[in-house]
Amino acid sequence: MMQAQGKASNQGAQIFIGDLHPSVSESDLFQLTSKYGQVVFIRVLRHIDTRISLGFAFVSFTDPTQANTARVELNGLDVKGKHIRVMKYCRERDPEANLFINNLPENVTSKELDDFFSVYGSILSTKLVYDSNERPRGYGFVQFEKQESAKKALESTKTIDFKGNRLTVEKFVPMKERNDMSNNRNLYVRGFDSSLSVDDLHRRFSIFGTITSHVVMRNEFQGQPRFFGFVCFDTPENAKKASEEMNGKSEGNFTWLVVPHMKKALRLSINKANYQKKIEEWKRKNLYIRGIPPAIDEEKLRKICEAYGQIESVLIPKTENVRFEDGKQVKEWTPKGIAYVCFAQAEYANKALAVLRDTTLEGNRLFVAHWKPREEVAKLVGMMKMRKIQSQMWEYGMIGNMMGRGMRAPGPMPPRPKPVPEAPSQLLISQPFVHYPPPPQPPPVAQLPFSLADFTAAAPEIKKRMIGEAIYPPVLKSSNQQVAGKITGMLLEMDNAELLGLLQNPPLLLVKVTEAIEVLRKAWATNSDLLKLLDAK
């Protein structure tokens, strides 16, 4: 569905709304914000492919005072089970003007926090942090407009009480700096057993420097007790020295694991990034082969592929079958006829691909391609199915509805005219010849301005850019430079499959552009300046 909104003319009157529930729409936000002033612009940002809300939006008023009132009154409000975050729109925020506030009371509101800190200067946003059940975590953030305001607040509130709690106010430290292992003083220690006490841990690591805190803990892992601990030094240098000296060192019947401590979220993100790098490497080095004869095992396949370069691994998946022999069930493993061969280098895989794709092995013609992860294969198969469906729709004339011709009513197909039966020549003299017109042909399909294979293999954001670059010239030809970009953006909110259909069907694209212009004309009916853009030459 296309949405038309006017362009925000005054950035000082614009607010950003975050932490939205996915079901919150533009109409919901209009009802929420219009009570504070005249709203001229609303947009909920959505995922390019799925069209699911990304959880944040922009709203513009005619007056900055209205925007500031809405920010203060709406910030922290519970909307559909989530506490929304509202802040002034600002292209560049000063990281030095951001404060971290800890030990907040559970019943504090964002407005109370805003009122408390607003005496130090203009505030862009205040944020209270909630857990997955929307319970307050006891800390939050205050982003000032200017660094001087943050310094003043930091100096004045270090020892101040707020609603019965003594606040801890610190300068906000970005995640990148917090996760910098060179500044980490805390070590995660594992590998020892129950015989190691807390005092033993302190005694063993104190030789590397002053220890500020240490602890030994125990949990269950795969049904077995596992012991671990944490050792925090006074300086990152001492922690680094202890990690380098102790990690991997064997003592008695165990081996030490001593590494810088990381939060779970950071560990998961690092592991995910490393796994993604491996996938990209496997896509270049790993080959998928189909059509492997049953007589070819992994050892034989390895010898065949070693001619093209060093191999890291060979796998022929098998499936378990059951056969009956003398009335008894006998289980056996049968090859699936496919294989995965991972080469040491990408150039070896490319060389094998060029040769094996034209090879016949024991009467079986091999299908060879670079390996792809399951989700990429699913996308590729989905695209192929969509193109097949579109082709069938063209063949049976069902695309006519998209072009304004109307779709055939549901029900059985109308009977086709019967051909004239062959008859003797004397019958042809007495009966007139009946001429049957040829069936209607589908309109010609326009050529795409890019390779479909390149489009299929591209990332989602690259696909949208390719379509946008291809669709802008015909949009500009049917409109003008003032609104062509806006109309192109509106069309790009459609699904990629629909956009490809528009590129292949210029008459339908012209219809969509005309519809978009009419939508803009209605949306801008009260704004004469914007209406002039539609009629510009």
Taking CA atoms, 341 is separated from 279, 296, 309, 333, in Å, by: 14, 14, 11, 20
Task: Give the CATH number of the domain where residue 338 resides.
Answer: 3.30.70.330
- Note the pLDDT tens digit of each residue in 260-284: 888 777 788 888 888 889 999 999 9
Strand partners, 144: 123
Question: Tokens representing 499?
Answer: 């956009």
163 and 24 belong to one structural domain: yes
Q: Which of 449, 456, 442 is nearest to 387 (CA)?
A: 456
Pair 226, 319 in one domain: no
Pairing of strands 165-166, 161-162: antiparallel
**pLDDT of 180:** 62
**Same domain flag for 256 and 287:** no
Do the domain assignments include residue 363? Answer: yes
Residue among 245, 451, 284, 496 nearest 370 (CA): 284
In a domain, 224, yes or no: yes
Domain residues for 503? Answer: 452-534
- DSSP secondary structure, 441-466, as one string: PPPPPPPPSS-HHHHHHS-HHHHHHH
Token pair recorded at residue 40: 């001229």
Query: Looking at the domain assignment, is residue 276 inside a domain?
Result: no
Whether 207 and 169 map to the same domain: the answer is no
**100 plus 164 within the same structural domain:** yes
Of 66, 71, 60, the C-alpha closest to 9 is 60
Structural domains counted in the chain: 4
For residue 439, the model assigns a pLDDT of 53
Measure the CA–CA gap between 283 and 301, rounded to whole angstroms: 20
Tell me whether residue 243 is in a domain.
yes
Residues 468-482 have pLDDT tens digits of 888 888 888 888 888
User: For residue 463, is it within any domain?
Assistant: yes
Residue 47 shares a structural domain with residue 154: yes
Please report whether residue 122 resides in a domain.
yes
Question: How big is the CA angle at 265 (ends 260 and 269), to the nearest 5 degrees?
Answer: 90
Residue 26, domain member (yes or no): yes
Q: Is residue 439, in this structure, part of any structural domain at all?
A: no
Residues 167 and 231 in one domain: no
**What is the reported pTM?**
0.40
Q: Check if the beta carbon of residue 232 is closer than 8 Å to that of residue 212.
A: yes
CB atoms within 10 A of CB 238: 19
Co-location of 100 and 218 in the same domain: no
**Rounded CA separation 261/423 (Å):** 94
Q: Which positions of the chain have pLDDT values less than 50?
A: 1-8, 399-413, 422-436
Tell me: do 458 and 332 sit in the same domain.
no
Q: Of 356, 371, 386, which residue is a domain's last?
A: 371
**CA separation (Å) from 91 to 11, 12, 15, 145, 271?**
9, 11, 11, 12, 32
Domain boundary among the residues 371, 395, 430 is at 371
